[in-house]
Structure 1
């Protein structure tokens, strides 16, 4: 059985610092976006920013999706996730996503925006995403199974008139664990943009999950039909419009302990208009 993660307050603070750095990188690149820029160029700007600030490896290197690719329209293989030569136009939805590691601490974030002007559908999706954020924490505190929470999120998405895009991710994940590792040269080896070390942990763990052992993945399959597992979880609800033209997501770390759960940091970009005291809450 997989070892469950229990982090100290100091360790969680390090995860929080890396998460903030990752969000800083995509917000910096947001200011550099111009018409005609490609997804590949935007992704490289994210990597340049992070490399210059001490990132030593990546769970996965930066992703950038423009236009209908934010809704994963036409994605039928894992290779479609990687940045392309799609060029940016005013009014396009944009998603930037990256998972850097600093001194063994990993964060995985997603950031959505509309380039150059307001986008009404994107605004509606973002409002639903904030409701989902509140719902996920509420249900984890109520000790619903991971599978039940996923299914509840699905109902919220359908009721709001949107589609579930995170089911297109490998193994249909709504989230996955993030861990602390010992950084070495091995961490700089990547396979299809993902860290070889992290894949060495993640893939066997996913196989274990198929056989009902605790899995590092959170989805709506049998492997997630269990109560919340202690650890740091990168949660990434991803919604798409029914016409397949617009998608949006956020991704951030949810901390689960033996007796409570809370978002690692409420001071994240998608909460900018609704900032509130830290949401650390003790379960009843």
Structure 2
């Protein structure tokens, strides 16, 4: 089956099966929320620390290795997906095509590059899936993109409250991105996901994660693949076709494209019946702007 045919089958299935979720409406206790914050804080700490170590000439593979080492040194043994690093035009996700091309490459960082770091450690069963965008030198176009992403961050909780389905959130975010003059890069992700669900029970969280070197699944640890197989991939992923339950926790990752670069953030949002809020405002894309 070709890649396009596989993606078409996914979107057709998501349209009809995304409402068949089992425990998607689970809402966390205060203790659970604190567990997720600690995991998210560790993930951001890794991204910010490694960001300060990046230098021209370093490769995406080297950056990803630094991310993995930082998380391992700070006690994270398992993860949802392997650490990612995308430099320059690769952060734009244009013409990547095959799934394996999204993985860290030998692309070297240049002085005027934008870069994205993305990690997802698991800490005591809690996941912290984040994305962090920056550049080595001042980049006015990136500044405009990051300012728009902050505007979008304010709007997304309202979109969740008003939307009847997660798919409506996807479509409205897409409209806002295009209205602002950017490209929708998360539409270029495999299956065009805006985000995915976050659960407390991450299987075998105390064991080291391993990867399967097979196409798309090579992104994910075996624990994540077990989670997908248990709950079903369609309720897990926030796509344009998703017609299931909104309630619960989501890792949201709007990814936009400018001229030769991409920019994103990713963090956890909590969706309750009458309230939607980000897990924390103590995140780099907020604090660095204030600083």
TM-score exceeds 0.5: yes
Between the aligned partners of 2:208 and 2:224, the Cα distance in structure 1 is: 8
Q: CA offsets, 1:176-218, max 9 Å, x none? A: 01212243566523221411121122256455x3xxxxx1111
Q: CA offsets, 1:153-186, max 9 Å, x none? A: 1111111111000011121110101212243566
Of 257, 261, 276 in structure 2, the residue corresponding to residue 240 of structure 1 is 257
Matches of residues 166-181 of structure 1 in structure 2 within 5 Å? Answer: 166-180=186-200, 181=202
Contact 1:187–1:195 (CA under 8 A) maintained in structure 2:
no
Bigger shift: 176-185 or 86-95?
176-185
Could you tell me which runs of 5 or more consecutive residues in structure 2 were left unpaired when the two chains were aligned: 1-20, 213-217
Runs ≥4 residues deviating over 4 A: 184-187, 203-207
Of 127, 132, 148 in structure 1, the residue corresponding to residue 147 of structure 2 is 127
| SS of residue matched to 2:34 | helix
Between the aligned partners of 1:185 and 1:160, the Cα distance in structure 2 is: 43
Partner of 1:225: 243
Partner of 1:158: 178
| SS of residue matched to 1:188 | coil
Partner of 1:27: 48
Between the aligned partners of 1:44 and 1:190, the Cα distance in structure 2 is: 15
Between the aligned partners of 2:206 and 2:159, the Cα distance in structure 1 is: 40
Q: CA deviation at 1:35?
A: 1.0
Pick 1 or 2: higher relative contact order, CA cutoff 8 A, min separation 6: 2
Between the aligned partners of 2:164 and 2:206, the Cα distance in structure 1 is: 40
Partner of 1:41: 62
CA RMSD of aligned residues (A): 1.7
Q: CA deviation at 1:262?
A: 0.8
Between the aligned partners of 1:146 and 1:202, the Cα distance in structure 2 is: 18
Partner of 1:282: none
| SS of residue matched to 1:36 | coil
Contact 2:249–2:271 (CA under 8 A) maintained in structure 1:
yes
Partner of 2:224: 198
Contact 2:43–2:119 (CA under 8 A) maintained in structure 1:
yes
* 1:7 has 2:28 as partner: yes
Q: CA offsets, 1:35-67, max 9 Å, x none? A: 110000011101111100110201011100001
TM-score for the superposition, normalised by structure 1: 0.87
Partner of 1:145: 165
How many residue pairs align between the two structures? 263
Q: CA deviation at 1:267?
A: 0.9
Partner of 1:103: 124
Which structure features the higher share of helix residues? Answer: 2
Partner of 1:258: 273
Could you tell me which runs of 5 or more consecutive residues in structure 1 were left unpaired when the two chains were aligned: 210-214, 276-284
Which structure features the higher share of strand residues? Answer: 1
